[in-house]
């Protein structure tokens, strides 16, 4: 595919061509992100059960395999961000989708070793790592591409719409994954991961790319230093999402509450609803102010799941978690973009999202160990505490902005 580029000087990356509609400009990118993340959404309710029931693995192993994706994504963010800034965001996104397809091939291979569970798990682990590298390129590419098309003045909208795509894919992907698993087992999930990325590639084939904004690699630590405060806020509030992704299916199974895909769908619908109705607020009111309110809502959702004695209470908790986390992400993200050098926008978003990866990579195995020792419900009490701590970071950012003590890079 030839990358048609909108030509403007890398020295002035904030200059963007006139646009008629932010939404219509971003729509092809958003749809392709949705399709790409549908693969992850389909795995959410199926992979933990495949590991635990089909392969006989413990909750700790489930947590390690799920968490490995986030660790690999964390380690690849710097490379992916620099790749997008230097070689073009469109090229990064195309490569990411192709790599995701390779992960599907590894999932298919793992099925040949069902009779050797240990070998199958190792191949699945390799597939999750490959999936993480592809996802890293997709996210950083889509964010950098979006900023290039509509300008960083619309950073909150870029993050909000891409977030709608990702979590909408989780919401739709979860029931699709359950249905596919019923019809064809994990084989159907592996086939979807192999072939669905090519639909997204078709959608972005003729979309104008944007010129690379950096001539050379920027050291990761320089951008990390600029975004660590909002990044830490993101890391803490992402624990709530992490425990839903990795353990809500096991919670529903343990308490005999029925189809766990409803929890993913409820989370995703609340997430999308918040983004559609209030996604403009971080750009308008300030990211820290929005994040402060939303992490309190998210923490309340985690408390409800911890205390739930019926599926409906747990679903309400999932909805509040999704609603709160929905705007916490762009809320802290707007603060990160504001602090980062303009010529490193993809790398800056890579550094910011790396805190999400770090959080999820640590959360899954620790929560798995906690569930083994104290029961699956204890995971959500610990998560509520972690999310509540992100209130502190939101206050630090808000007070720093109001007093002028927080300098912008």
Residue 14 included in any domain: no
Rounded-to-integer distance, Cα 17 and Cα 15, Å: 7
Could you read off the pLDDT of 174-195 as tens digits, one per residue? 889 989 999 999 999 999 999 9
Banded model confidence at residue 9, pLDDT cuts 50, 70, 90 = very low
What residue numbers bound the domain in which 276 lies? 20-206+218-403
**Number of domains the chain contains:** 1
Identify the residue with better confidence: 108 or 74: 108
Say what the pLDDT of residue 404 is. Answer: 53
Burial 193-209 (b: 16+ CB within 10 A, else e): bbebbeebbebbeebeb
pLDDT above 60: residue 1: no
Say what the pLDDT of residue 7 is. Answer: 33
Residue 82 included in any domain: yes
Residue 13 included in any domain: no
Please name the residues in contact with 280: beta carbons below 8 A apart, sequence gap of 6 or more: 156, 157, 160
Residue in the block written with tokens 């409820």: 266
Residue 291 included in any domain: yes
Say what the pLDDT of residue 18 is. Answer: 54
Rounded-to-integer distance, Cα 61 and Cα 33, Å: 29
Under 8 Å between Cβ of 97 and 394:
no
Rounded-to-integer distance, Cα 54 and Cα 128, Å: 18
Rounded-to-integer distance, Cα 344 and Cα 89, Å: 12
Banded model confidence at residue 107, pLDDT cuts 50, 70, 90 = very high
Say what the pLDDT of residue 403 is. Answer: 54
Banded model confidence at residue 3, pLDDT cuts 50, 70, 90 = very low
Under 8 Å between Cβ of 89 and 141:
yes
In this prediction, residues 157-165 reach a mean pLDDT of: 83
Say what the pLDDT of residue 13 is. Answer: 42
Burial 87-122 (b: 16+ CB within 10 A, else e): ebbbbbbbbbbebbbbbbebbbbbbebeeeeeebbe
Residue 10 included in any domain: no
**What CATH number is associated with residue 156?**
1.20.1250.20
């Amino acid at each position: 595919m030839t990358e048609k580029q909108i030509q403007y000087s890398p020295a002035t990356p904030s200059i963007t061509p006139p646009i008629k509609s932010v939404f219509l400009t971003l729509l092809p990118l958003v749809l392709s992100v949705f399709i790409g993340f549908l693969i992850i959404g389909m795995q959410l309710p199926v992979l933990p059960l495949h590991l635990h029931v089909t392969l006989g693995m413990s909750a700790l192993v489930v947590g390690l395999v799920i968490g490995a994706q986030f660790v690999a994504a964390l380690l690849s963010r710097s490379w992916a961000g620099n790749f997008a800034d230097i070689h073009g965001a469109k090229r990064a996104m195309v490569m990411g989708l192709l790599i995701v397809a390779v992960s599907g091939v590894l999932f298919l291979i793992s099925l040949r070793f069902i009779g050797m569970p240990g070998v199958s798990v190792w191949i699945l682990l390799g597939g999750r790592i490959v999936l993480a590298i592809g996802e890293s390129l997709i996210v950083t590419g889509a964010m950098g591409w979006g900023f290039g098309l509509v300008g960083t003045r619309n950073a909150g909208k870029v993050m909000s719409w891409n977030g709608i795509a990702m979590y909408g894919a989780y919401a739709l992907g979860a029931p699709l994954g359950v249905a596919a698993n019923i019809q064809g087992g994990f084989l159907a999930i592996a086939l979807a991961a192999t072939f669905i990325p090519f639909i997204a590639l078709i959608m972005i084939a003729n979309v104008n790319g944007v010129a690379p904004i950096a001539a050379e690699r920027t050291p990761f630590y320089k951008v990390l230093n600029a975004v660590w405060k909002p990044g830490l806020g993101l890391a803490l509030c992402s624990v709530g999402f992490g425990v839903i992704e990795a353990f809500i299916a096991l919670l529903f199974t343990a308490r005999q509450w029925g189809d766990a895909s409803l929890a993913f769908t409820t989370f995703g619908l609340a997430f999308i609803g918040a983004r559609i109705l209030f996604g403009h607020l971080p750009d308008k009111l300030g990211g820290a102010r929005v994040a402060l309110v939303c992490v309190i809502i998210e923490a309340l959702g985690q408390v409800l799941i911890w205390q739930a004695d019926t599926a409906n209470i747990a679903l309400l908790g999932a909805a509040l978690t999704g609603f709160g986390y929905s705007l916490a992400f762009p809320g802290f993200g707007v603060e990160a973009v504001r602090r980062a050098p303009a010529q490193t926008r993809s790398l800056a978003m890579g550094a910011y999202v790396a805190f999400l990866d770090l959080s999820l990579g640590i959360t899954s195995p620790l929560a798995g160990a906690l569930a083994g020792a104290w029961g699956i419900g204890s995971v959500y009490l610990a998560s509520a505490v972690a999310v509540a701590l992100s209130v502190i970071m939101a206050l630090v950012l808000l007070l720093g902005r109001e007093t002028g003590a927080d300098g912008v890079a």
